[in-house]
Structure 1
Amino acid sequence: MDLDQIWKNTQEELKVILAPAVYQTFVTKTQLISYQSNKAVVACPNSYLVEMNKKRHYDYFKSSLDNQTHQNNTLEFIIQETITLESDGSTSTPLFSTPIHKPVNTGNLHPKYTLENLIVGNSNNFAFAAAQGIIKNPGLLYNPFFIWGGVGVGKTHLMQAIGHELLKQNPQLKIKYFPAETFGNELINSLKSKNIGQFKDKYRNLDCILVDDIQFIAGKEYIQEEFFHTFNALHMAGKQVILTSDRKPSDIDRLEDRLVSRFMGGLTVDIQLPDFEMRLAIIKQKAEEKKVNITPEAASYLADNIVSNIRDIEGKFQEITVQAMASRIGEIDVNFIQSYLSGSSPQNYSSQKNEKINPRHLISICAKHFNIKTGDLCGQSRKKDLVWARHFTAYLLLTEANLPLEEVGRLLGGRDHTSIMHARDKIHQEISTNPQTRSLINQIKDSL
């Protein structure tokens, strides 16, 4: 049974049924990789296509495939990059013929993740400088290049920006970006289909690999084994390897020592949460991209009050933009931002329940959780344990009770607002990089 031909005919039938934009987005990038006992396994390049095809287009796919096979089929959509198969010389007659264009080498890179729109600040300037060195001398200067940091701090953006720059210098360079999960899924499917040789050739003949979230191979012995040999083949040939993770190699549980050693053998850099200046630059960049008018005071106020990762800042600014448009506001000022942050709008990023939290009750809960007296928590002692508990309390008073900096300082013993800002930033940084801190915050929230 010719799977390729069956799927071509199925796609041609879907082309008639679906709108052109829907067909181009959700059908053209799929591939039938297995068909046994009336069950079809269809590969999609990313999770978005998998979910959308399951929820919205399943019946269309099923109907078209049933027509081609004359069977009552079930379909399973999985994440796997589709592989273009070489022609075996046989001819086929699809329902409709379309012109074939030579594909442009994109390396599976997202078009928006470029150096041009990367904001550089104190949190990522070292990583950015290292990236510049790799672009000038790929495979020689920093190899492998390991980038780690919390969620949404720009690891993927920087990694893909390097890929874009390398392709600008040499469009013939064989570059490939992929999540570590994709590597594992393709390895398993190649074993099932007995195409392990093709799988190895696909990855070991590249000039540069960009692997996202490498921590996901931890604890998976065979996948680690295969990635180890792939890494060695590329590294020994002088090819560039770039990896990202949410923690540094030595902190990844159940990652084999030999992989830890190789990952640490090049340059390891971390990217921190953006500071105030970088957050402000991000907000201004997004305002310019979306052609949104925001006063300098409003931008500064927003940057000072959303102390989070880049992705969260972009999401919050998008919410504000939509609300401003819905309210027919031509220019976003400080009053509008304050209204948003206070929770007066339905899309407020803080839960409505937070407004009802009694600050004194929250302080009492924190004191009880850390097994200290409320008076000590709000006192002047600088003992390490008390300072740590005080930082947590300040963070929760800001994020859960929505209190201004000055009020939090007053409640915690008359401290200056800059001390409260430091405590907030410290806990934000810990939440980004330390799973134990995230767990501790969630425990206290549950107590509330």
Structure 2
Amino acid sequence: MSVTAQSVWNNCLEFIKDNIQPQAYKTWFEPIKAVKLTDTALSIQVPSKFFYEWLEEHYVKILKVSLTKELGETAKLVYIIKMENTYGNKQPFTEKIPSSNRSAVKSQDVDVPFNNKSPELRNPFVIPGIRNVKIESQLNPNYSFENFLEGDSNRLARSAGLAVAAKPGGTSFNPLLIFGGVGLGKTHLAHAIGVDIKDKYPEKTVLYISAEKFTQQYIDAVKKNNRNDFIHFYQIIDVLIIDDVQFLSGKSGTQDVFFHIFNHLHQNGKQVILTSDKAPVDMQDIEQRLLSRFKWGLSAELQNPDFETRVSILKNKLYRDGVEMPEDIIEYVAKNIKTNVRELEGAIISLIAQSSFNKKEINIDLARVIVEKFVKNTKREVSIDYIQKIVSDYFQMDVDTLQSKTRKRHIVQARQLAMFFAKKFTKASLASIGSQIGKRDHATVLHACKTVDNLSSTDKQFRKYVEDITKKLSV
């Protein structure tokens, strides 16, 4: 039987397979192709420079032993790297790593590396000039489940997060998409899941990154002709957390590369966690093939916290900071700041600071002054309840009438305007808007928004309604 490159490599693979984890074998050795055998030099093709560097960094010993067993002490390994030209030339080209730098050594001398220099891992998070093989998670340990308080507004998302943290990649919540308005805790919950996974599974590679930074890394990779390296880096992550995924909107190149990364991770049982300010159904300029994958798992909405949850959040914040505050003041702040958790905590911090710096007692008068100033100086996120009240007052009807099932034309139009402005001024999903305005579905809200757009361009009186209400909501 003649010795071929494939037969030599198959024998090497049998040895390697018996000595490493199955998942590592599947990721790092199955994609390799044996190309040719010249005397005692075996040429193998790997998908990218990143791939070759990872092999040299992590599997150099086992490669030496297996190849020496097959070809003897003079064995050499040549890497052929299939490079992707990202500048329009459709023909791939190859780069050979010279065999003179890859000579194998005797099996007992396994501490001597194949090559004369240690390769540098192409990790997008490595600081230039500093060699760093370890992939840092980029997680904030201060964001935990312990300080992410449960309430009706976030119970589903929090419970799903706990399930994912207990069994990453092993639940039906893959991907887990957490969506909701500004300051409701999307980033906090995403970090909490990652932190909990690292505690339970320290061997897993967890990575948190914003979609904006992911996009910038991809742009840099294309400029440097390292697109394959970029892809392979992200394909080795066990738990990938991407914050503000709506930032990929309109960026077709980044969407395409994320599509391939997502597919690889999902098919290999890795966990993907995404956050967004919109539900998938409301995302604009995101490719349908990507949106369909976002819907494979669970989309969990974070809504504005109710009064009881707001009180609990404030008490927890005060407890963590070691500050005591009268119950009536906590309740006053919770009643008057309803928009989101970030503003709620900001107000209590301002109140504590004013009391400390000015040596003033924390009482209801000071709370009133601080809350009024804080709300006035904070960009207010208009609530759906507020929009319904403004629209109802404008058309001289009560909110119950606005939400009713009646088909009277002027009431239907008022309801449609309320839905239109809720979509325009809030981050709520279409489903959430419909639920709060008369228990309608998201299709009704979508129809209402299209109707308002059409009537605004054809009906002069209706256009005046839109302009008047816009002014009232913009005050």
C-alpha change, 1:308 and 1:440, in structure 2 (3 Å) is farther
The answer to whether structure 1 residue 229 and structure 2 residue 255 are counterparts is no
C-alpha change, 1:230 and 1:444, in structure 2 (3 Å) is same
Between the aligned partners of 2:294 and 2:209, the Cα distance in structure 1 is 17
- 1:230-274 deviation digits (Å, cap 9, x = unpaired): 000111110000001111112101111111111100111111111
Residue equivalent to 1:337: 367
C-alpha change, 1:317 and 1:426, in structure 2 (3 Å) is farther
C-alpha change, 1:340 and 1:226, in structure 2 (3 Å) is same
Residue equivalent to 2:375: 349
Residue equivalent to 2:16: none
Give SS of 1:349's match.
helix
**TM-score, length of structure 2 as denominator length:** 0.56
RMSD: 4.0
Between the aligned partners of 2:303 and 2:474, the Cα distance in structure 1 is 29
| Counterpart contact for 2:243–2:275, Cα < 8 Å | yes
Q: Unaligned regions of 5+ residues in structure 2, if any? A: 1-122, 381-387, 405-409, 419-432, 438-444, 453-465
Between the aligned partners of 1:198 and 1:387, the Cα distance in structure 2 is 55
The answer to whether structure 1 residue 248 and structure 2 residue 265 are counterparts is no
| Counterpart contact for 2:402–2:414, Cα < 8 Å | no
| Counterpart contact for 1:149–1:271, Cα < 8 Å | yes
Residue equivalent to 1:443: 470
Residue equivalent to 1:70: none
| Counterpart contact for 1:110–1:160, Cα < 8 Å | yes
Measured after TM superposition, the shift of residue 442 of structure 1 is: 8.5
Query: What amino acid does structure 1 have at the position aligned with 2:275?
Result: T
Between the aligned partners of 2:133 and 2:223, the Cα distance in structure 1 is 28
Residue equivalent to 1:134: 164
Give SS of 2:375's match.
coil
Query: What amino acid does structure 1 have at the position aligned with 2:205?
Result: K
1:109 pairs with one of 124, 134, 139: 139
The answer to whether structure 1 residue 119 and structure 2 residue 162 are counterparts is no
Give SS of 1:171's match.
coil
Measured after TM superposition, the shift of residue 105 of structure 1 is: 6.3
Measured after TM superposition, the shift of residue 111 of structure 1 is: 2.0
Residue equivalent to 1:300: 331
Between the aligned partners of 2:141 and 2:232, the Cα distance in structure 1 is 27
Measured after TM superposition, the shift of residue 296 of structure 1 is: 0.6
| Counterpart contact for 1:365–1:444, Cα < 8 Å | no
Query: What amino acid does structure 2 have at the position aligned with 1:128?
Result: R
Measured after TM superposition, the shift of residue 440 of structure 1 is: 8.4
Residue equivalent to 1:32: none
The answer to whether structure 1 residue 325 and structure 2 residue 356 are counterparts is yes
| Counterpart contact for 1:377–1:389, Cα < 8 Å | no
| Counterpart contact for 1:118–1:158, Cα < 8 Å | yes
Between the aligned partners of 1:185 and 1:379, the Cα distance in structure 2 is 46
Measured after TM superposition, the shift of residue 172 of structure 1 is: 2.1
Aligned 1:26-37 pairs, distance under 5 A: none
Residue equivalent to 1:147: 178
The answer to whether structure 1 residue 275 and structure 2 residue 302 are counterparts is no
1:184 pairs with one of 204, 212, 215: 215
The answer to whether structure 1 residue 83 and structure 2 residue 126 are counterparts is yes
Query: What amino acid does structure 2 have at the position aligned with 1:123?
Result: S
| Counterpart contact for 1:187–1:223, Cα < 8 Å | yes
Between the aligned partners of 2:318 and 2:167, the Cα distance in structure 1 is 35
Name the count of aligned residue pairs: 303
**TM-score, length of structure 1 as denominator length:** 0.59
C-alpha change, 1:149 and 1:381, in structure 2 (3 Å) is closer
C-alpha change, 1:377 and 1:169, in structure 2 (3 Å) is same
Between the aligned partners of 1:364 and 1:278, the Cα distance in structure 2 is 24
- Could you tell me the percent identity over the aligned residues? 33
Aligned 1:377-396 pairs, distance under 5 A: 377=397, 384=404
Q: Unaligned regions of 5+ residues in structure 1, if any? A: 1-79, 89-101, 355-362, 394-422, 428-433
Aligned 1:62-77 pairs, distance under 5 A: none
Between the aligned partners of 1:382 and 1:338, the Cα distance in structure 2 is 33
* Farther off after superposition, 295-304 or 376-385: 376-385
Between the aligned partners of 1:158 and 1:440, the Cα distance in structure 2 is 38
Give SS of 1:350's match.
helix
Asked which structure has the greater CA Rg, the reply is: 2
Structure 1 segments of 4 or more deviating over 3 A? 84-88, 102-106, 363-368, 377-390, 434-437, 439-442, 445-448
- 1:125-184 deviation digits (Å, cap 9, x = unpaired): 111111121122110201111111111111111111010011001222111000111111
- 1:1-36 deviation digits (Å, cap 9, x = unpaired): xxxxxxxxxxxxxxxxxxxxxxxxxxxxxxxxxxxx
